[in-house]
Amino acid sequence: MKNPDTLQPRAKALHLHGLLAHWSEAAAAGWPEVLIGWEEDERARRSLERRLQGAHIGRFKPLCDFDWNWPTAIDRGTFEALMSLDFLKDATNAVLVGPNGVGKSTLARNLAHEAVIHGHTVLFTTAGQLLGELASLDSDAALRRRLRHYVAPALLLIDEVGYLSYSNRHADLMFELISRRYEQKSTVVTTNRAFADWREIFPNAACVVSMVDRLMHNAEVVSIEGDSYRAKEARERAERKVKQRRGGKS
């Protein structure tokens, strides 16, 4: 058995009061190390399970299956540096920008999953879901509570900024969220629009420049160029079905 001086603090941290009350008998039988190890492993497993469920990452293609050769241009090195999660230590942000279907969401979900595995609190959402929910709240108290929910995670990932346009109220809410997290927590955004075009996402909103400024300050940017991988897969599926139908004819 390991040194009891190291095992007892672990048992106290786990609140294993029954074991501590009978420490001498348990130590004589050689139980503490095994029991504490089981408890720590089970708690770590349950913690990971809770954090994965709470992150709302959804289904995604693992990074090992990502076709890095499909985009015509992508800064793979910058993204792999993000996967080290060092940017979380400095509470800096990251932006994945590129046209539809080039893998921005897949990369963001892999980043979210990696952060959860390494013990960070994470929340993945779409811009439409986030802003729609916040804008629907009809009391200041409810809005403050929900903003705290989105401010709390060490890593917040906002997917699909630019696919819809939003009102000034939506813009104000996004600005408030980005400002509350600014230099405190890391935010990752995926977008199909260059920042110069964000006024089209939030037309007439006075806060767009300030929002972009806070989001981009010291941020890592991964630019992706190329055709839609989803469209490629859809074409390949259609071609396979045509071949199967032709092969099935007598």
pTM tops 0.75, yes or no:
yes
145 and 88 inside one domain: yes
36 and 72 inside one domain: no
The Cα–Cα gap between 169 and 134 comes to: 10
Q: What pLDDT is attached to residue 229?
A: 82
The Cα–Cα gap between 170 and 166 comes to: 6
18 and 140 inside one domain: no
The Cα–Cα gap between 63 and 53 comes to: 20
> In this structure, is the dihedral angle defined by the CA atoms of residues 215, 220, 222 and 223, taken in order, positive or negative?
positive
Helix or strand holding residue 203 (H, E):
none
CA–centroid distance for 76 within its chain: 18
70 and 180 inside one domain: yes
Structural domain contains residue 240: no
208 and 88 inside one domain: yes
CA–centroid distance for 199 within its chain: 25
Structural domain contains residue 250: no
Task: Inform me whether the pLDDT recorded for 40 exceeds 90.
Answer: no
The Cα–Cα gap between 221 and 191 comes to: 11
Question: What count of other Cβ atoms lies within 10 Å of the Cβ of residue 24?
Answer: 9
Is the CB of residue 111 less than 8 Å from the CB of residue 83?
yes
pLDDT top residue among 119 and 233: 119
* Measured CA angle at 55 (ends 52, 60), to 5 deg: 75
The Cα–Cα gap between 237 and 243 comes to: 10
State mean pLDDT over 5-11.
Answer: 86
Task: Inform me whether the pLDDT recorded for 1 exceeds 60.
Answer: no
Structural domain contains residue 201: yes
User: How many structural domains compose the chain?
Assistant: 2
Is the CB of residue 192 less than 8 Å from the CB of residue 99?
yes
Task: Inform me whether the pLDDT recorded for 52 exceeds 60.
Answer: yes
Structural domain contains residue 159: yes
Q: What pLDDT is attached to residue 249?
A: 63
Q: pLDDT grade, residue 4 (50/70/90)?
A: low
Structural domain contains residue 26: yes
pLDDT in tens, 143-159: 999 999 999 999 999 99
Q: What pLDDT is attached to residue 114?
A: 97
The residues, ordered by sequence, that sit 6+ positions from 154 with a Cβ below 8 Å of its Cβ are 88, 115, 120, 121, 122, 185, 186
State mean pLDDT over 208-218.
Answer: 94
Return the residue matching tokens 């770590």: 44
Structural domain contains residue 248: no
Residue 107, domain extent: 63-232
The residues, ordered by sequence, that sit 6+ positions from 79 with a Cβ below 8 Å of its Cβ are 96, 107, 111, 222
Q: What pLDDT is attached to residue 224?
A: 96
pLDDT top residue among 152 and 231: 152
